[in-house]
């Protein structure tokens, strides 16, 4: 998969990379990245010599038929780990458990602290549950990563990507072992998460928004719904006045 998919991505898109020396040649680490596009989980592993494991929806691995089996094989091949996301709390606990298992095996665990893709290219508040809890439970270093311009290659809803060069900036490892064993303290979890998000912001150059991306998506959806309703109301008013 690294040769076929990774090689093809590098050949077609020619991603530029800064800070590869910050990825350890061996041993566990957490790669905490901003999230601009579905393709982020493919571009980052493509430029690294080591395997990176991300979590993915369990549905990708359980769909029936030949297509379902091919999809499952593809996601396993590119380092995706199935996690059942039914129920917010259960999904969070499953993701944390999966991350700890990857770290305990000496692997690289990839995670998006924002929890979902940015709706507008800005950097949103990191969720303290997953990233910080895995880091404090394992003592693994956290390496901030910034994906650059991937949202322009494959915006949400677009299937065919645009050929252009994305960028990847990899920061220096962050050590949080001073907080190890304190993963039950929500103030510590928030502090760790905010420190990581600040480093990602410096690497990416994104505008930071101090709300969760999920809340921003709801606001955008509500605004779009209100705009549509306003248009319908205006059309109805014009038809009524014309009658």
What end-to-end distance do the CA atoms of the chain give, in Å?
64
Structure tokens at 2: 């690294």
Domain ranges within the chain, ordered by starting residue:
2-210, 212-243
Alpha-carbon distance of 35 to 114, in angstroms, equals 7
Give rounded-to-5 percent helix, strand, coil for the chain.
50, 15, 35
At the fourth CATH level, the homologous superfamily of domain 2-210 is Glycerol-3-phosphate (1)-acyltransferase (3.40.1130.10)
- Each residue's pLDDT, cut to its tens digit, for the chain (243 residues) gives 555 666 777 888 899 999 999 999 999 999 999 999 888 888 998 899 899 998 776 665 666 776 666 655 666 666 677 666 555 555 678 788 889 999 999 999 999 999 888 999 999 999 987 899 999 999 999 999 999 999 998 776 677 778 889 999 999 999 999 998 888 899 999 999 999 999 999 999 999 999 999 899 888 888 888 888 888 888 877 777 765
Could you tell me if 111 and 54 are in contact, meaning their C-beta atoms sit under 8 angstroms apart? yes
What predicted TM-score, i.e. pTM, was given to this entire model?
0.84
Give the CA angle between residues 57, 197, 108 to the nearest 5°.
Answer: 50
Could you tell me if 63 and 119 are in contact, meaning their C-beta atoms sit under 8 angstroms apart? no
């Amino acid at each position: 998969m690294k040769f076929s998919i990774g090689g093809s991505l590098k050949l077609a898109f020619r991603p530029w990379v800064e800070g590869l020396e910050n990825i350890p040649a061996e041993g566990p680490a957490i790669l905490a990245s901003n999230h601009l596009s579905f393709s982020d989980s493919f571009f980052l592993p493509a430029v690294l010599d080591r395997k990176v494991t991300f979590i993915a929806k369990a549905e990708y691995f359980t769909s029936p038929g030949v297509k379902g089996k091919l999809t499952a094989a593809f996601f396993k091949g590119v380092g995706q780990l199935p996690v059942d996301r039914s129920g917010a709390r259960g999904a969070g606990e499953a993701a944390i458990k999966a991350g700890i298992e990857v770290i305990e095996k000496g692997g690289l665990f990839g995670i998006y602290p924002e929890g979902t893709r940015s709706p507008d290219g800005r950097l949103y508040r990191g969720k303290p549950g997953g990233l910080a809890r895995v880091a404090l439970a394992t003592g693994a270093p956290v390496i901030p990563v910034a994906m650059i311009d991937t949202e322009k290659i494959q915006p949400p809803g677009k299937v065919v990507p645009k050929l252009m060069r994305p960028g990847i900036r990899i920061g220096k490892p962050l050590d949080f072992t001073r907080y190890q064993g304190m993963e039950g303290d929500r103030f510590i979890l928030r502090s760790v998460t905010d420190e990581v998000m600040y480093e990602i912001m410096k690497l990416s150059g994104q505008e930071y928004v101090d709300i969760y991306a999920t809340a921003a998506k709801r606001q955008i959806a509500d605004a779009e719904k209100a705009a549509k309703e306003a248009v319908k109301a205006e059309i109805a008013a014009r038809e009524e006045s014309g009658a």
